[in-house]
A and B are shown apart, each in its own frame.
Chain A
Amino acid sequence: NAGVTQTPKFRILKIGQSMTLQCTQDMNHNYMYWYRQDPGMGLKLIYYSVGAGITDKGEVPNGYNVSRSTTEDFPLRLELAAPSQTSVYFCASSRGQGVFNEQFFGPGTRLTVL
């Protein structure tokens, strides 16, 4: 199993450009998450999904959108990139709640907005 995969690994965007960060998991997990990691700030939840067709906002959703049409994929969309969105983005998945709460993380996408 590849686990959680993310593409691209690195990306530089200009202000106002759009892009989609891809996330795929092959563990048949129902729950998926998007986090951003900034130095000294920990990981902040952007959006999460508890199953195909179901998404909800996390702590810092502004400027982002998500969709979940399949169990495996959970893309994150940046519509109008801003310098404040420069960060490392992590996708994660888990089987569910309760004892299945362990989250498995992808390797991350480092995004720079200039």
Chain B
Amino acid sequence: QQQVKQSPQSLIVQKGGISIINCAYENTAFDYFPWYQQFPGKGPALLIAIRPDVSEKKEGRFTISFNKSAKQFSLHIMDSQPGDSATYFCAASMRWRNQGGKLIFGQGTELSVKP
């Protein structure tokens, strides 16, 4: 119930294309869904996040789509650039439930954007 499942494991996209990464969860108590971006040799960094009462959030070329009934959410990267090549992690948290702010991470997606 605490798992977050992420797919695909790896993704190759041409420059200018759309990258889509999907995540699914079981625990309906999750109330916060962030995406983290990790470049090789670095720690993950927060990219964008969404609450379950919102169906979509957009920040620049990055959009989260959230489907509460299906318990799924996805990251869309529009006009993908070689600089977007990184590993992306979805995560879930019960940030208002005195759980220590713990994040449950998906397995990660290694994105490669070809010039």
Task: Answer whether residue B6 sits at the interface, using C-beta atoms and an 8 A cutoff.
Answer: yes
Contact of A45 among B32, B42, B95, B103 (CB under 8 A): B103
A101: B residues at CB distance < 8 A: 32, 34, 93, 95, 101
> CB-CB < 8 A to A96: which residues of B?
101
Query: Chain B: interface residue count, which band?
Result: 20 to 34
Q: Does A43 contact B (CB under 8 A)?
A: yes
Q: How far is the CA of A56 from the CA of B105 in the complex (A)?
A: 18
Cβ contact within 8 Å between A31 and B43: no
Q: With A31-B100, A42-B6, A43-B89 in contact, is A108–B43 under 8 Å at CB?
A: yes
Chain A residue with minimal CB distance to B89? A42
User: Among the listed B41, B45, B102, which residue makes an inter-chain contact with A48, where contact means beta carbons less than 8 Å apart?
Assistant: B102
Residue ID in chain B nearest A54 by CB atoms: B100
Q: 17 pairs across A/B with beta carbons < 8 Å?
A: A31-B100, A31-B101, A40-B9, A40-B108, A42-B6, A45-B103, A50-B100, A56-B100, A92-B43, A97-B101, A101-B32, A101-B101, A103-B46, A103-B101, A103-B103, A104-B45, A107-B43
Taking A43-B44, A102-B49 as given, write out 13 further A-B residue pairs in contact, using a Cβ cutoff of 8 Å, ordered by the A residue number: A40-B107, A42-B108, A43-B89, A43-B105, A97-B96, A99-B95, A101-B93, A102-B34, A103-B103, A104-B45, A105-B45, A107-B41, A108-B43
**Interfacial residues, chain B to chain A (CB-CB below 8 A):** 6, 9, 32, 34, 41-46, 49, 89, 93, 95-96, 98-103, 105-108
